Structure 1
C-alpha cells in the first residue's frame, strides 16, 4: 500500500483489493463449508446447543403455563426423575458404541479400499445427525432433571414429552445408521459416490461455479523470455492446492501483465517454491504478491472442491488395493475400471480450460500446469495396466474400456479431427500398446495371451465396437 501512496495513486491498491476480495471470499467460504461438512463435531455441537436452549425454554413454559395438565399425559416427579436418568445414561453409552462402530468402519475402509475414501464416511450426514441426537438427548435430560421439583404434584409435561420424543428419534436414527453403515461398506457404493462427485465437477467444464470462470479469450502463449526479469511469488506454506481463482489472480495485477501460475489444483507445493511468476513486476510488488497468494487455497489434504484428478486418484487406489496380493479381489478391480470408464467418457468429450488467456485490459494468464486430456488418460490407466497385466479377467475389461473411450473420441466430433482429440486418441493407443506389452512380459498362457492380443488389436481398429464388460 505504501508504494501506491508515494506514487500519488493511493486508489490503485484499494481498487485491486476491491476486485480480488469477492473471489477470495468465495474461495474461503467453500473451503470452510468443505471442512465443516467433513467435521464430526460441528453439526453435533450445533444440535447440542439447540437442545440446551430448548430445555430451558420448555422448563419456563412448563412452570408458567402447564399448571393444570389434566388433559396431558403426565408423570409423577419420582417417575420422571427415574425415566430421565435412565435415558441420559443410555444415550451417553450408546454414543460411545456409535463412535466405536464409526472407528471400526474407518479402519475397515482404510485397510481394504484406500485411506482417501474415508472422507465419504466423515461427510455422512446421517452419522453426524445420530451423534448430535444422542448428545442432545443426553444434555436435554440432564438439564430437565435439574428443573424437576420432587415436591410438586406432577413432572413438567412438555419437558418430559420432548425427552421421550428425542429418545424415540434417537432409536430410529440408530437403526437407520446401522443400515447405512453396513451398506456403505460395499465397494460398489464407495466407487459410485466417488464417480458421482467427479462427474459433477466434469459437468462444469470448461468453466463453472466451482471450476472457475472464464477470464479472457484464448491466445497463443507469449515468449516470456523476452519480457525481462519477472517477479516470482513463492508459497508460504507446504500443502495441497485445494482451490484457486483465475479471476482473482488476474485482478490482482496491473493491465498488460503476464501471469504464469506455477502449480495447479491437486498439486503439492513446498514452501519457498514458485507459486506465481509475473512480467513485468508491478509497482507495488508486496500488494500484488499478497493478493495473488490469497487467491490460492492450500490445505493439508486433497479435496473434491475443484480437483477432478483426485476423483480418478481415489478410484485408482481402490483398484490397486484390490489387485494387491494381500487383498486379491479382481472383481472389485473390474468394477473400478468400469467406473473409471464412466468418468473418463464425459471428461474426454468435455473441453478443458484454455491454458493461455488474455482479458480486455491486456492481462495474460498462463496455466501450463493444468492437466489436459492426455494427462488424464495417463493418470487413469498407468498404474492399473501395470498391476492388471497378470490377470486376464481384469486386463480384458481394461482394454475394452480404453477401446470404448477411443470410440467416443472418434465419434465425438463432426468434421476435421482437432489436434487435442488426435493427441487423446494417440494417448489411448499408447496405453493399449503398453498394456499388451505388459501382458506379454508376464508369461501368460498362450491361449489367454492370444485372446488378450485379439481384443487389443480390435481396440485400435477403426471403428471399434465392444461390449461394456
Structure 2
C-alpha cells in the first residue's frame, strides 16, 4: 500500500508544480504573503531595535503622504499591467494560436511583476497603520526604507516587463520558446529511456482473461511514467497501456489491461488509476508532440488568408526542423520495458519517429503549395533531415521524409497559377539536395515524373 501511495504522491506533486508554473495567481499570492510577513518583521525591528544605519529619516506627515501616493500608484499600475497581460493573451490567441497562450500565462517575469505591484501596495497599507500622526514625530525608519526600496524595484520591474512583453510578442521569440521547451521535454524523455530496460513485446493469446482498467474521467493524459505503472501491478504481471501521454481519453475507455488477472483486481485497478494522470488541458510535461502541435498551429495560422504571413510559416518550418533533428535521432522510451520481479510494461500507442514526421509536416505540406517560398523551406528542411538521419544510422525514417517530399511535389504540379520556372526550381530543391547523385538528372524529365526513386 505504501509503495502505491508514494508514486501517486510524486505524480500529484509534479502536477501541482506544473500548475503553479502556469498560474497567474499562485506566485503573485505568495509574493503578497511575503510582503505581509516583511511588514510585520520591519515593524517589530522599528519597535524593538535601536537606530539602524543607512535608513531613511522622514517626518510622519511626509511619510504618510509618500506611502499613500505609492499605494495608490501601485494598485493603479497593477490594473494597467493586468490589462497589458490580457491584451497580450488576446494577440497571442488571434495571431498565433490559442494553445500558445500558455507560454504567456506561465511567463515568470509577468507573474513576478504582478505580485510585486500588489505586494508593494499591501506593504505600504500595512506600514501606514504604524505611523504616529502627531506633528513632528518621525516615521519608522526601517519600514519606510524598505517601502522606498520596494517602490524602486517595482518601477524597474515594470520597465523590464514592458521590454520583455514587446520582445515576447515577436513570432521568433514565441516559436523559439516553444521549441526550447520541446527540447527540454525531449532531453527528459531521453534520460528516462536510458534508465529503462528494454524488453521484447509479448501480448496475450486470444481468449486469455485480462483485467481491463477503465479511465475514471474525460481529459488529456499528461503523465504515465513507466516505472510507476510497473510498480502498480503484481510481480510477474504484464500491463499494457491502452493510451499515451498527450492523448485524449473518454471516461470508461480502456486505460490499461493487465494479465494474468491479479488476485486483488480492485486494488490493482486503483493503483493503476493513480499512476496515470488525466487533466482538463493538454500540457508539455511529457508530451513532445504538443510542441509540434503548437508550432504547426502557428504556421497554419500564418498561411491562412486572414493573416497571409509566409515569412512566419518559413520560420515555423525551420523550428520544426530543429526539433525533429534532435527527436529523430534520440532513443525515446521503448514499446516494451521490463521491471523488477518479472513485470513487463507494453506501450503500443506511443508515437513512432514516422508519426512525429507526419505530425510535424502533414498539415503544413497541405497548405504550402500556394506559397512557393514555404514549399522551398519544407524541401530544404526535409532534405536536411534525410541527410542527418542517414548519418546517424536511422535509415528507417528516410522513407517517411521522402514521402513528404513526393507528396508536396505532386501537390505543386497540380497547383494552378504556379509558373513552370518556379516549379522547376522547387523540383531542383526537392530532389537535388536529398540525393546528390540525381543532380545530373534535373531536366524536363524530372518535372514530368514522380520524384520518388
1:307 aligns to what? 287
Q: Alpha-carbon deviation of 1:334?
A: 0.5
1:440 aligns to what? 413
SS at match of 2:337: strand
The change in CA–CA distance for 1:50 and 1:352 in structure 2 (over 3 A counts) is closer
TM-score, length-scaled by structure 1? 0.89
1:371-410 equivalent positions in 2, closer than 5 A: 371-410=351-390
1:349-368 equivalent positions in 2, closer than 5 A: 349-368=329-348
1:11 aligns to what? none
2:391 aligns to what? 411
CA root-mean-square deviation: 1.9
Q: Alpha-carbon deviation of 1:213?
A: 4.6
Question: In structure 2, which of residues 82, 85, 88 is the aligned counterpart of residue 105 of structure 1?
Answer: 88
Q: Alpha-carbon deviation of 1:259?
A: 1.1
SS at match of 2:255: strand
Q: Alpha-carbon deviation of 1:410?
A: 1.2
1:270 aligns to what? 250
1:276-315 equivalent positions in 2, closer than 5 A: 276-315=256-295
Contact 1:77 1:155 in 2 (8 A): yes
2:232 aligns to what? 252
1:111-260 equivalent positions in 2, closer than 5 A: 111-151=94-134, 153-208=137-192, 213-214=195-196, 216-219=197-200, 221-226=201-206, 228-260=208-240
1:429 aligns to what? 402
The gaps in structure 1 that reach 5 residues or longer are 1-16, 414-420
Contact 1:24 1:245 in 2 (8 A): no
Number of aligned pairs? 437
Superposed CA deviations along residues 4-43 of structure 1, whole A, max 9, x for unmatched, are: xxxxxxxxxxxxx333333333222211111001111111
1:13 aligns to what? none
The gaps in structure 2 that reach 5 residues or longer are 440-453
Superposed CA deviations along residues 408-437 of structure 1, whole A, max 9, x for unmatched, are: 111112xxxxxxx34311111111111111
Contact 1:212 1:245 in 2 (8 A): no
Contact 2:387 2:434 in 1 (8 A): no
Q: Alpha-carbon deviation of 1:352?
A: 2.5
C-alpha distance in structure 1 between counterparts of 2:260 and 2:71, whole Å: 67
TM-score, length-scaled by structure 2? 0.92
Question: In structure 1, which of residues 62, 66, 70 is the aligned counterpart of residue 46 of structure 2?
Answer: 62
The change in CA–CA distance for 1:212 and 1:174 in structure 2 (over 3 A counts) is farther
C-alpha distance in structure 1 between counterparts of 2:409 and 2:54, whole Å: 80
